[in-house]
Structure formats: structure tokens, C-alpha cells
């Protein structure tokens, strides 16, 4: 496919309700969408950045800069045989996986459309539906948390993950477990703990959690390996796994027993699939987390979740979990049994709600090849 034109779009989409992790509270989603035209076919991707360097060092402005000055010039006017080759073509640019993801995903969408298959099929997906979990942020009170969890369970979500931090952890898990002894339950600390907190984390072992996600530093593998030896509950790593090399090191060290593979964190779908394959070969289950993506990034996350080793429920929830109105049609919906259909149409399998997208676009820039 010959890359004829690329467009970047800075989008601000209001969240239905604030989302709080151990590091910050968000009211509005800031993200960068990428559109590519190749052989006359349009493809869409998302760089799931934020307005500041919180989950990752990347921001709207760093992604814009790296895409505009480096990544787009590398690909514009070039002929790329397969979307899976794009990672290597972008390898000269070090880091910046979210910026790369937005551009890389567009090519997967184009290739799937050209071949008349769904993105999930092109990636090697084997599922028609994925099982959905929900991620619930830190609340002002335990009563608020309980009522939210109750609502999500009533909607059908099959696994509940709650964000924790020191002081919002043991009581929270105890309260939820006493109310719902049998639901699949897990916690995510987003690196809020240090090795000195190990006893506090070991105290979570008695509550039959599916996993404890990213308890220690975002760039650590070694301390996690020591903690995992003390815990019966599996550790799942998220922030600590930015690449297949990190995944291999984590598994060799015993730093975790589960990996959350987010395309945006690892530089796109090809890298996500490499980590998936590595884990599959070693019998390590994976699942797909979320970065509050709009329907575009969500569509890519749904497609990758159809791969065979995505065996645990992910955070890929319905559009209405986060947004009053999503920018794709139809929006992603939860089935009553807590699953979500993997789109079957060509490419990402959803349409862009163009009139609405215009109302939430705050900046746009187009680049044309020669």
C-alpha cells in the first residue's frame, strides 16, 4: 500500500464521570487520532496519549511532534507491503510507542479493508465475542464504589477491577469480597507501592483476587520478582512491559504470571502480537487493558483481544462505560451475557461519526505525499 496522505487530529472528548487512578483524576479524554489514505483506502488509528505525562511520558504534544517531524515523514510516499512491517520502518525513532501506535494501526485498518477481512481476522483472531471486565476508578467513598460496582455487575460485566493506592486498598477489597464472595475480582495499583509496602500487599492474598496489577515502580522488574515470590496471588504487569524484550525478561525473572498487553503501550498491534505469542508459548495468559480510548482505539483493542491467548477478561468495555457519545457508529455495546461482539465488517468494522467528530476536534493537520 502506497501511503498518500496522513492526517493528525487532536480530540477532546468529555468523560461521563471522572476516572481516578493512584496518580490522578481525569474529567476529559485528550487523544490523538491518525488517518491514513493509502491506495485510495482510508484507515484509522489512535495514539492514546493524555494531556500530561502521567501513565506514560508521552503527551498530546509529544505525540504530535514525533508524528509530524519524524514518523509521518518516514512513511509518507512510501510503499508498505504489510502493516506488520511498519514497526521496523519506524524503528529509527526510539521510544514514543503511543505516537507509533496511532500511525501503525491505520495501516492494519487499510490492509484489512483492502483484503475485505475484519481486522481481527487479519491479526489471526479466533473469537467472535470477547469477555468484558470493567475497571473502576478510586472513589470519594466506599459507598460510591459499591454502588458503581453494583451497577456494572447489573449491566453484565464479568470481572471487576478496582484501582487501589495505599489507604484505599485493604478495606476496599474486604468490602467488595464480603458483598460479592464469588465475582472475579482484581486490583490495579498503577505503581503506587514500594517494596517497603510488601506486607500490605501480602495481606491481599487472603481475598482470592485474580491478580494484583502493577503494584511497584513503572520501570521495575526485579523488585516485582521478589514480591511475586512472597505472594500467592499472581502479579500482572502493565507499565513495566513496554516491549517484547521486557516481557521476556519479566517471565525469566518471575516478575509476573500474567501480562496486560495494551497496543498503545507497546507501539502497536504487531508488537502486541509478538508479546502475545511469546506468552502463549510459555503458557502465560494475557488480556487487554485500556487507556480510555475512543471508539477508534477501542476497535483495535477489541480486534487484538480476539487472539487465542487473550484468555482473561480485559478492560475493553462498552463505549458508554466512559462516554455519553462515542465517535464511532455503532458504538461498542455490551451483550447481556457480559461479552462484546468482535466487528465482522472490513477493517476496524465501525464507521466514524464524522459530524460529531468535527465537534470534538480541536486541531488538525494534513500531510500529503509527493
- If the CB atoms of residues 169 and 213 are measured against Mg ion, the closer one turns out to be 213
- If the CB atoms of residues 125 and 289 are measured against Mg ion, the closer one turns out to be 289
Dig out the grid coordinates for 86 from the structure: 511498519
In the bound complex, what is the minimum distance in angstroms from residue 214's beta carbon to Mg ion?
5
- If the CB atoms of residues 24 and 364 are measured against Mg ion, the closer one turns out to be 24
- If the CB atoms of residues 118 and 240 are measured against Mg ion, the closer one turns out to be 240
| Cβ–Cβ under 8 Å, residues 164 and 188 | yes
**Contact flag: residue 109 with Mg ion (CB under 5 A):** no
In the bound complex, what is the minimum distance in angstroms from residue 258's beta carbon to Mg ion?
12
**Distance between CA atoms of 273 and 145, rounded to whole angstroms?**
34
Helix (H, G, I), strand (E, B) or coil at 288: coil
| Cβ–Cβ under 8 Å, residues 34 and 103 | yes
Q: Report which DSSP code applies to 246.
A: H
- Kindly give, in sequence order, each residue whose CB lies less than 8 Å from that of residue 47, ignoring residues fewer than 6 positions away: 31, 32, 33, 34, 58, 63, 67, 98, 99, 101, 102, 103, 264
Where does this chain touch Mg ion (CB under 5 A) — which range of 20-28, 187-195, 246-254, 349-357?
A: 187-195
Identify which of 179, 173, 184, 178 has the alpha carbon closest to the alpha carbon of residue 150. Answer: 179
In the bound complex, what is the minimum distance in angstroms from residue 236's beta carbon to Mg ion?
8
Q: Site mask, Mg ion, residues 192-221, x = CB under 5 A?
A: ---------------------x--------
- If the CB atoms of residues 111 and 213 are measured against Mg ion, the closer one turns out to be 213
**Contact flag: residue 188 with Mg ion (CB under 5 A):** yes
Q: Report which DSSP code applies to 328.
A: E
Where does this chain touch Mg ion (CB under 5 A) — which range of 117-125, 146-154, 186-194, 241-249?
A: 186-194
Residue 226's H or E segment, with its range, is: helix 222-230
Q: Which residue is nearest to Mg ion (CB)?
A: 238
**Contact flag: residue 46 with Mg ion (CB under 5 A):** no
**Contact flag: residue 315 with Mg ion (CB under 5 A):** no
**Distance between CA atoms of 201 and 205, rounded to whole angstroms?**
7
Question: What is the CB-side half-sphere exposure of residue 198 using CA atoms within 13 A?
Answer: 12
In the bound complex, what is the minimum distance in angstroms from residue 156's beta carbon to Mg ion?
22
**Contact flag: residue 293 with Mg ion (CB under 5 A):** no
Where does this chain touch Mg ion (CB under 5 A) — which range of 145-153, 184-192, 278-286, 346-354?
A: 184-192
**Contact flag: residue 50 with Mg ion (CB under 5 A):** no
ω into 5 cis (within 30 of 0): no
Q: Site mask, Mg ion, residues 223-262, x = CB under 5 A?
A: ---------------x------------------------
The residue written with cell numbers 486541531 in the block is: 363
Residue 163 annotated among the catalytic residues of the structure: yes
Residue 224's H or E segment, with its range, is: helix 222-230
Give residues in contact with Mg ion (CB under 5 A).
188, 213, 238
The residues that are catalytic are: 163, 262
Amino acid at each position: 500500500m502506497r501511503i498518500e496522505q496522513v492526517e493528525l487530529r487532536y480530540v477532546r472528548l468529555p468523560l461521563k464521570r471522572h476516572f481516578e487512578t493512584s496518580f490522578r483524576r481525569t474529567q476529559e479524554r485528550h487523544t490523538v487520532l491518525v488517518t491514513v489514505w493509502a491506495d485510495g483506502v482510508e484507515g484509522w488509528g489512535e495514539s492514546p496519549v493524555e494531556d500530561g505525562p502521567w501513565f506514560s511520558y508521552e503527551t498530546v504534544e509529544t505525540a504530535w511532534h514525533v508524528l509530524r517531524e519524524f514518523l509521518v515523514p518516514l512513511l509518507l510516499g512510501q510503499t508498505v507491503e504489510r502493516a506488520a512491517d511498519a514497526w521496523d520502518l519506524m524503528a529509527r525513532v526510539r521510544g514514543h510507542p503511543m505516537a507509533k501506535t496511532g500511525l501503525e494501526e491505520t495501516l492494519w485498518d487499510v490492509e484489512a479493508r483492502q483484503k475485505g477481512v475484519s481486522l481481527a481476522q487479519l491479526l489471526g483472531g479466533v473469537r467472535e465475542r470477547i469477555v468484558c471486565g470493567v475497571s473502576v476508578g478510586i472513589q470519594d467513598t466506599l459507598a460510591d464504589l459499591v454502588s458503581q460496582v453494583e451497577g456494572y455487575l447489573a449491566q453484565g460485566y464479568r470481572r471487576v477491577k478496582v484501582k487501589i493506592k495505599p489507604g484505599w486498598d485493604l478495606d476496599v477489597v474486604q468490602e467488595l469480597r464480603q458483598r460479592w464472595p464469588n465475582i472475579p475480582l482484581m486490583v490495579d495499583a498503577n505503581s503506587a507501592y514500594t517494596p517497603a509496602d510488601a506486607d500490605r500487599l501480602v495481606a491481599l492474598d487472603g481475598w482470592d483476587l485474580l491478580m494484583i496489577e502493577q503494584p511497584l515502580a513503572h520501570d521495575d522488574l526485579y523488585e516485582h520478582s521478589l514480591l511475586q515470590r512472597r505472594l500467592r496471588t499472581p502479579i500482572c504487569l502493565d507499565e513495566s512491559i513496554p516491549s517484547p524484550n521486557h516481557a521476556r525478561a519479566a517471565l525469566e525473572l518471575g516478575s509476573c504470571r500474567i501480562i496486560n498487553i495494551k497496543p498503545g503501550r507497546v507501539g502497536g498491534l504487531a508488537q502486541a502480537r509478538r508479546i502475545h505469542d511469546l506468552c502463549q508459548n510459555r503458557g502465560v495468559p494475557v488480556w487487554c487493558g485500556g487507556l480510555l480510548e475512543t471508539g477508534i482505539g477501542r476497535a483495535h483493542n477489541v480486534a487484538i483481544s480476539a487472539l487465542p491467548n487473550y484468555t482473561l477478561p480485559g478492560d475493553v468495555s462498552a463505549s458508554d462505560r466512559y462516554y455519553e457519545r462515542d465517535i464511532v457508529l455503532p458504538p461498542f455495546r455490551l451483550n447481556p451475557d457480559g461479552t462484546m461482539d468482535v466487528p465482522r465488517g472490513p477493517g476496524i468494522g465501525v464507521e466514524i461519526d464524522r459530524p460529531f467528530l468535527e465537534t470534538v476536534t480541536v486541531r488538525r493537520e494534513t500531510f500529503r505525499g509527493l
